[in-house]
Structure 1
Amino acid sequence: MKTQTAKASLVDCITDRKEDFYRLAYSYVKNQEDALDIVQESIKKALASVDSVRNPDTVKSWFYKILVRTAIDFLRKQKKLKVMDEQTIEFLSSGKEDTYHDTDLYEALEELPHPYKTIIILRFFEDLKLEEIAEITGENLSTVKTRLYRGLKLMRIHLTKEDLS
């Protein structure tokens, strides 16, 4: 009975927050197909281990934890060198350069180590509370606060350097 409740809570959570989960995955990989793969893999992992959920009320943070870890694992696997042929390089270099708003902010975010980046994304882009972030990352609340403020400080330093350049 408890497993059915947890499974129903998981399905409801995924259905209600699918855009949030996609956006979080996309913030890691910057690629639509890879983000969808990460969400799909996370759902697969969650459904396989839904029996381990003791309290159906914690399904949201439990799934966020799975999603973040799956995204980080994906990035680790993708660090391998990718080789392109000359035609692909010419095609990509001949295009018009895109212009984006707030690129310096996103670049500063990309420069952060994963622990800082994860906390900042969950706090400001996913609008989660610090307690929820602590549960998702498996860290103490004080560690989450420290990493949040340290990450923001590192981003500020990066942005200040760009302003001086």
Structure 2
Amino acid sequence: MFKGLKRKKVEAYIIENKNSFYRIAYSYTKNEDDALDVVQESIYKALYSVEGLKEISSVKSWFYKILVRTSIDYIRKNKKYINMVDISQINDNGKNDKYKDLDLQEALDHLDIEYKTIVILRYFEDLKIDEIASILDENINTVKTRLYSALKKLRVEIEN
């Protein structure tokens, strides 16, 4: 595919799905500005490495992979800051966020990152198991097992 055409298709995909990308980044950072920074950095990385995209048909999983990894990197770099965020601030800033149930949000925050990522991608972004496996570079059965474990942990967390 021609260089410019591939880049234009990626740009169009990013523009079309920017709200979804923001929701994912926000689910990790719990802050509007930080989520925007994560999305911006993800877009930069994607556009910088657009020639590494082999098939334009796989742009969705390719970009989600960049976004999830950038979000996780952000969390690791800013761990002290994230742990100090006040829960009332999350509710005020989360007006555009898809999460409506505070108990669910808190339970998700208690999950390990690999479980949280799978739950968000599966239930909030409505991705298929095979797409999630591709994004996370994991075996499909591993994703299924982690999803089942995450749901079990969420159920226990919410019931308590």
Q: Please state which band the TM-score falls in when normalised by the shorter chain.
A: 0.7 to 0.9
| Aligned twin of 2:54 | 54
Which deviations, in whole Å up to 9, do the C-alpha atoms of 1:14-63 show, x marking residues without a partner? 01101000111011111110000000000000111111111011011100
CA contact (8 A) 1:7 1:50 kept: yes
Where do residues 77-92 of structure 1 align in structure 2 (5 Å cutoff)? 77-80=77-80
Structure 1 match to 2:120 = 121
Instruction: Give the gaps of 5 or more residues in structure 1.
Output: 85-91
Which residue in 2 is equivalent to 1:153?
152
Cα pair distance change 1:16/1:146, threshold 3 Å: same
Query: Which residue of structure 2 aligns with residue 68 of structure 1?
Result: 68
For residues 123 and 57 of structure 1, the distance between their equivalents in structure 2, rounded to whole angstroms, comes to 20
Larger Rg: 1
Which residues of structure 2 form unaligned runs of 5+? 93-98
Q: CA deviation at 1:101?
A: 5.3
The 5 A counterparts of 1:1-165 are 1-80=1-80, 102-161=101-160
- Aligned pair count reads 149
Distance 1:134 1:101, change over 3 A: closer
2: CA distance between counterparts of 1:101 and 1:124? 13
SS at match of 1:80: helix
Query: CA-atom RMSD, angstroms?
Result: 2.2
C-alpha distance in 1 between matches for 2:61 and 2:129: 12
| CA-CA distance at 1:102 after TM superposition | 1.9
CA contact (8 A) 1:5 1:56 kept: no
Aligned residue for 2:123, secondary structure, equals helix
> Is the alpha carbon distance of 1:51 and 1:81 closer, same or farther for their aligned partners in structure 2, counting shifts above 3 Å?
closer
| TM-score, normalised via structure 1 length | 0.83
